[in-house]
Each structure stands twice: as structure tokens, then as C-alpha cells.
């Protein structure tokens, strides 16, 4: 399996500095700073990228779970809201609210929710984030 790489450069102090994050694939490079991380300023932040990684990984894992159960999904759309909070000695990611909506012909609710929970617990990004509470809201929609 290939090793995936990303990089970041930071210049200056926490509040007045600025940085850039970059994916080795070249498909993303963007600025980040204090305002984009701790306020509503422009730019990206590590938590946003973690959320994208979880949403993408979970969606693929759920597609695999459903396909293996004989129900190939037409569409899976997932979002992850990553909560960053101050805790005692510093900031920490305290919770991720993962929401998904899937269009899967011929699938019943019980099997859908079972497979969604299994995908949440077992996708590689979820396992990497095991110290963080991940709360799943899964919705099965019809065409």
C-alpha cells in the first residue's frame, strides 16, 4: 500500500503567524492561521481536513459494507462536524458528529443502520480517531 503524505509550514507566533497546508498529490494547497482555526476567519484548518478524511473514508467503507450485503448504493453523502474545545492543558478534538444520507435500492432500515454503525467503527480513519467520540446520524432515502 502506498504511503500518503501531506505537509504544513508555519511562520510566526500562534496568533500572528500564518501557514500553508499541502497534499502531496497537489490537489489541495491552502492557507491556515489562528483566525481560520479558532475563529471564523478565511482559510482551512487541521480539523476541517480531519472531517473531510473521516467523511470520505466512512462513505467508502459504508459502500463496501452495503455492496458486500448485496445492496450496491446509488449515492452516499456524508459530512463530519469536528468539535475543537479547550480542555485543561490545551485544545482537543472532543467530538465528531458524522452524518450520512444514502440512496440504496431495496435495502431495509435495520440492515442499513447495522452496516452504517459497522462502517463507522471499522473504517481506517475512525480507528485512527478512536480516542474521539464519533456520533453517527444515518438516514436511508429513496429515489
List the domain range (segments joined by +) for residue 77. Answer: 46-141
Q: Record the pTM.
A: 0.94
Query: Residue 1 falls within a domain, yes or no?
Result: no
Query: Residue 137 falls within a domain, yes or no?
Result: yes
Nearest to 121 by CA among 36, 31, 54: 54
Only one residue has cell 462513505, namely 59
pLDDT in tens, 83-95: 999 988 899 999 9
- 22 with 78, same domain: the answer is no
Q: Rounded to an integer, what distance in angstroms lies between the CA atom of residue 97 and that of residue 80?
A: 6
- 22 with 51, same domain: the answer is no
At residue 103, φ and ψ (nearest 5 deg) are -110, 110
Torsion of CA 129, 28, 35, 86, to 10 degrees: 0
- 137 with 86, same domain: the answer is yes
CB distance 32 to 44 below 8 Å: yes
CB distance 71 to 107 below 8 Å: yes
Q: For the chain, how many structural domains are there in total?
A: 2
Nearest to 69 by CA among 108, 14, 37, 127: 108
pLDDT in tens, 35-80: 999 999 999 999 999 999 999 999 999 999 999 999 999 999 999 9
- 62 with 92, same domain: the answer is yes
- 63 with 104, same domain: the answer is yes
Confidence of residue 121 (pLDDT cuts 50, 70, 90): very high
CATH code of 109's domain: 3.30.300.20
Strands 18-23 and 29-33 come out as: antiparallel
Amino acid at each position: 500500500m502506498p504511503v500518503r503524505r501531506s505537509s504544513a509550514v508555519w511562520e510566526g507566533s500562534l496568533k500572528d503567524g500564518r501557514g500553508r497546508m499541502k497534499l502531496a498529490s497537489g490537489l489541495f494547497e491552502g492557507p491556515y492561521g489562528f483566525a481560520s482555526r479558532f475563529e471564523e476567519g478565511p482559510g482551512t484548518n487541521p480539523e476541517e481536513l480531519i472531517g473531510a478524511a473521516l467523511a470520505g473514508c466512512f462513505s467508502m467503507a459504508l459502500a463496501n459494507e452495503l455492496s458486500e450485503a448485496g445492496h450496491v448504493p446509488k449515492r452516499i453523502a456524508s459530512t463530519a462536524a469536528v468539535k475543537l474545545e479547550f480542555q485543561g492543558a490545551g485544545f482537543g478534538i472532543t467530538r465528531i458528529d458524522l452524518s450520512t444520507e444514502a440512496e440504496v435500492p431495496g435495502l431495509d432500515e435495520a440492515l442499513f443502520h447495522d452496516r452504517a454503525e459497522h462502517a463507522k467503527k471499522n473504517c481506517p480513519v475512525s480507528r485512527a480517531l478512536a480516542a474521539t467520540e464519533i456520533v453517527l446520524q444515518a438516514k436511508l432515502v429513496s429515489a
